[in-house]
Structure 1
Amino acid sequence: MSELLGFDAYAPREVARRIETVGVAKANMATLPLLMLGVLAGAFIALGGFAFLIVKADASLGWAASQWLGGLVFSVGLLMVVVAGAELFTGNNLLAMAWAEGLIGTRAVLRNWLLVCMANFAGAAGMALLIHLSGQTELHGGALGARVVQIAQAKQELSWTQAFFRGVLCNVLVCLAVWMAMAGRSVVDKAVAIVPSIATFVAAGFEHSIANMFFFPLAMWVQAESAVGAPVTVSGMLANLVPVIAGNLVGGSVFVGLTYHLIYRRGLGGAAPSADAAPPHP
């Protein structure tokens, strides 16, 4: 009956097995393709960030409208990661599920997170440099460049506590988007799953570490050519990224990954874990 109605998504328990299977593949991936896919993911998120800047540079939009529209266009970044294929640190926090099931070791998880995070930074900062060199920050009479500086300034002024908990909330939504996308069987399914969650975290002003790896370098390159506002510094970037990365880890690994592991793989959801073979890599 569900197929006749067009509802053929994977059930949550099946999604849990699929994420574990993918997690094993990610943890065992060779270093070179892992780094290359990580660079791509950073670049994809940066493109979503650039689309967000185009919206935010338009002062004619009201605050709520610009937040939600900015979130909608930013979601193209994660959609490219999921559909085109790339390795994103925040999404890979779901490796905690395969780790908790004993399918991969702690060293393999930490290796993946470290390499992917570094590669994401290279991709995001590299895309920021390309955008700067192309003159795109001069769009709308320089409003786009001024806007990214304002955004970076606001981010580096956050307290450690604010940055951490905004990172937690952000990656709860990001990993929920990845979780729901794994339930889909088509590109349309995945888009419907991804866009609302990502638009929500952006509209709410939560902190995504990889997006910040784009905003900060771009703001610093803008300021290198013209003094716009208070300085955006490397130390300011690190003061933001450290708590945001920690918050992203907690939000994705603990609040999503380990929670669903306990529910669907440890039998807290009402039924014993299935003995069915895990599905192939999607």
Structure 2
Amino acid sequence: MSELYGFDAYAPREVAQRIETVGVAKARLATLPLLMLGVLAGAFIGLGALAFLIVKADATLGWAASQWLGGLVFALGLLLVVVAGAELFTGNNLLAMAWADGRISTREVLRNWGWVCLANGLGAAGLAVLVWASGQTGLNGGRLAQQVVHIALNKQALPWHEALWRGVLCNVLVCLAVWMAMAGRSVADKAVAIVPPIATFVAAGFEHSIANMFFFPLAMLVQAGGGAPATPPVTFSGMLGNLVPVIGGNLLGGSVLVGLTYHVIYRRGSAS
């Protein structure tokens, strides 16, 4: 009866098999739809980041309250990716499971990660342009503009080793959210699985490479338009200095600490 009404979840061993099967399909997706779905995912994560900015721009909230509430609304991004359908670099780090099982090649994995990361960046930066052009950074008396510049400056100032490990911790939680969403049989199941880990990584201040591809361009556009000036300014080199270790950390956290760990536990030596 529980199966009929969808109240049961897939067991972890079944989730591992499902993620491998989905990983094979993702790795072999044609380039055009892969890029289009990647752009959508970048924009979706950007929408979650915009919702986070709106919360953080409210000075009446305490620090912990704004962090947790911001994390809850940021989860919109991954919900859109999982439910509406899109290709997200950080979630696709789980392709490591299908690779470790010999079902896809190293070339196929790198092709997916490379194109998807690039497309995510285009989607996130494109949304930043639209947000800036629409005047949304002027919300709450310009506090949203001030907040995005403040966030980007803090990220730019992170030492590389801190950015790396914050990236690791972030994508452990993101990939666990994707893993648990794959255990669900309904949209409600997926939402319950996704929101807590995503809210936690945001509240804790971990680093998500695709979200940063939205924050940095928006902050630079704000400054170029004369809003929220800061010294030192947010720069392209500062963005790259953040993204390189964060992308590396996201890869390590998602592919090794989640994907390969679960491969060893549930799939190593099993029949595909």
TM-score, normalising length: structure 2: 0.97
Partner of 2:100: 100
User: 1:7 Cα shift?
Assistant: 3.9
User: 1:64 Cα shift?
Assistant: 0.2
In structure 2, C-alpha distance between the alignment counterparts of 1:224 and 1:5, rounded to whole Å: 54
The correspondence of residues 123-138 of structure 1 with structure 2, limited to 5 A, is: 123-138=123-138
CA RMSD, aligned part only? 1.3
Partner of 1:261: 263
In structure 2, C-alpha distance between the alignment counterparts of 1:6 and 1:91, rounded to whole Å: 24
The correspondence of residues 8-19 of structure 1 with structure 2, limited to 5 A, is: 8-19=8-19
Partner of 1:270: none
In structure 1, C-alpha distance between the alignment counterparts of 2:20 and 2:5, rounded to whole Å: 29
Q: Does 1:64 align with 2:64?
A: yes
User: 1:128 Cα shift?
Assistant: 0.3
Tell me: CA distance 1:199–1:142, structure 2 relative to 1, closer, same or farther (3 Å): same
Per-residue Cα deviation, 1:107-149 (whole angstroms, up to 9, x for no partner): 0000000000000000000000000000000000000000000
Partner of 1:241: 243
Partner of 2:25: 25
Q: Does 1:159 align with 2:152?
A: no
Partner of 1:229: 230
Q: Does 1:85 align with 2:85?
A: yes
Tell me: CA distance 1:6–1:118, structure 2 relative to 1, closer, same or farther (3 Å): closer
Aligned residue identity for 1:50: L
Q: Does 1:55 align with 2:55?
A: yes
Spell out structure 1 runs of 4+ moving beyond 3 A. Answer: 1-7
Asked if 1 retains the 8 angstrom alpha-carbon contact of 2:95 and 2:259, the reply is yes
Aligned residue identity for 2:96: A
In structure 2, C-alpha distance between the alignment counterparts of 1:6 and 1:97, rounded to whole Å: 26
The correspondence of residues 266-281 of structure 1 with structure 2, limited to 5 A, is: 266=268, 273=270, 275=271
Matched position secondary structure for 1:128: helix
How many pairs does the alignment contain?
270
Q: Percent of aligned positions with the same letter in both sequences?
A: 79
Asked if 1 retains the 8 angstrom alpha-carbon contact of 2:48 and 2:77, the reply is yes
Partner of 1:251: 253
Per-residue Cα deviation, 1:157-206 (whole angstroms, up to 9, x for no partner): 00000000000000000000000000000000000000000000000000
Matched position secondary structure for 1:197: helix
User: 1:265 Cα shift?
Assistant: 0.5
Aligned residue identity for 1:72: L
In structure 1, C-alpha distance between the alignment counterparts of 2:154 and 2:178, rounded to whole Å: 28
Aligned residue identity for 1:20: E
Please list every run of 5 or more consecutive structure 2 residues that lacks an aligned counterpart in the other structure. Answer: none
Aligned residue identity for 1:229: A
Tell me: CA distance 1:64–1:189, structure 2 relative to 1, closer, same or farther (3 Å): same
User: 1:8 Cα shift?
Assistant: 1.1
Matched position secondary structure for 1:40: helix
Partner of 1:148: 148
In structure 1, C-alpha distance between the alignment counterparts of 2:4 and 2:209, rounded to whole Å: 42
In structure 1, C-alpha distance between the alignment counterparts of 2:125 and 2:135, rounded to whole Å: 16
In structure 2, C-alpha distance between the alignment counterparts of 1:233 and 1:177, rounded to whole Å: 32
Tell me: CA distance 1:103–1:4, structure 2 relative to 1, closer, same or farther (3 Å): closer
Matched position secondary structure for 1:29: coil
Asked if 1 retains the 8 angstrom alpha-carbon contact of 2:18 and 2:182, the reply is yes
